[in-house]
Amino acid sequence: MSATASRRRLPHLDARLVIGILLVVASVVGVIAVVAGANRTVAIYAASGPIAAGEPLTTERLSLVQVHEQDSVALYLSPQALPDGEVIATRPIGAGELIPVSALGAADASMSTVVVPISGTLPVEVTTGATVALWSSVPGEQPGSYTEPRVLVAEAQVIRVVEQDRMIATGEVELELRLPAHLVATVLGDVTNGARLHVIPVHSAPAAPVAGP
């Protein structure tokens, strides 16, 4: 084979080699990009504890967690999307749950919160986020007597259960409740007058039995 023929083939061989190298480089770069994308995370807010519907979402109640970046992260609250004004949870949010943007709402001036002492043992269903009826029995005319219990608030939401040593010693706990603002004065009036307050979980009424023939 002549030197002239060899020189003519070299450019063809060099082109194939270059193309092969470029393909390998492109493949490596693609793999690196995929791995880097899979490992990319963003900061999203999660509830640091249970949050009841209607409770203000302050930064003290939130914690930042790192999640993998994907399209669905836009559905959750991030530091960049945190509203400037006061916002509340429009539904109960569990501890550790990511905060959905759809669960945020403007503060409702028609609702307020109040802490009340509850007599006796709480039903197991009474936890943060539960809806309860608040019953009251005020002191009667005779010392140590109480009037027949009455419904003070038909529906209130439990924001948190407060257990303190002084309350446990008397068999009581304190509940922070969210209820209609116009009922706060009535509730505080019964508390001041030494009423015994109880809460009952609100459940759906059972289906009526079918009457027999």
Let me know: does 49 contact 93? Beta carbons within 8 Å: no
Check residue 54 and give its pLDDT: 79
Q: Which of 106, 130, 155 is the last residue of a domain?
A: 106
Same domain, 168 and 115: yes
pLDDT-derived band at 134 (thresholds 50, 70, 90) equals very high
Let me know: does 155 contact 134? Beta carbons within 8 Å: no
Least confident of 66-80, 170-184, 186-200: 66-80
pLDDT in tens, 40-97: 788 888 988 888 877 888 888 888 888 877 767 788 888 887 777 778 888 888 888 8
- Give the separation between CA 164 and CA 77, rounded to whole angstroms: 33
Of the candidates 132, 134, 110, the residue with the CA atom closest to the CA atom of residue 188: 134
In a domain, residue 16? The reply is no
pLDDT > 90? residue 197 = yes
In a domain, residue 73? The reply is yes
pTM check: above 0.75: no
Let me know: does 177 contact 157? Beta carbons within 8 Å: yes
Residues in CB range of 160: below 8 A, 6 or more apart: 50, 52, 128, 175, 176
Same domain, 115 and 52: no
In a domain, residue 99? The reply is yes
pLDDT > 70? residue 194 = yes
In a domain, residue 169? The reply is yes
Q: Which of 106, 127, 162 is the last residue of a domain?
A: 106
Neighbours of 97 (CB within 10 A): 14
More confident residue, 121 or 7: 121
Least confident of 122-136, 162-176, 197-211: 197-211
Give the whole-number percent of the chain exceeding pLDDT 70. 71
Same domain, 71 and 149: no
* 3-class DSSP assignment, residue 46: strand
Check residue 198 and give its pLDDT: 92
CATH number at residue 45: 3.90.1210.10
Same domain, 102 and 162: no
pLDDT > 60? residue 213 = no
Q: What is the mean pLDDT of the chain?
A: 77
Same domain, 120 and 197: yes
Check residue 186 and give its pLDDT: 93
In total, how many domains does the chain have? 2
Q: Which of 80, 106, 132 is the last residue of a domain?
A: 106
pLDDT in tens, 6-41: 455 545 556 666 666 666 666 666 655 555 455 578
More confident residue, 11 or 192: 192
Let me know: does 42 contact 78? Beta carbons within 8 Å: yes
In a domain, residue 6? The reply is no
Structural domain range at position 142: 111-201
Same domain, 195 and 165: yes
Check residue 196 and give its pLDDT: 92
Would you call 127 exposed, middle or buried from its count of C-beta atoms within 10 A (0-12, 13-18, 19+)?
A: middle
Same domain, 50 and 69: yes
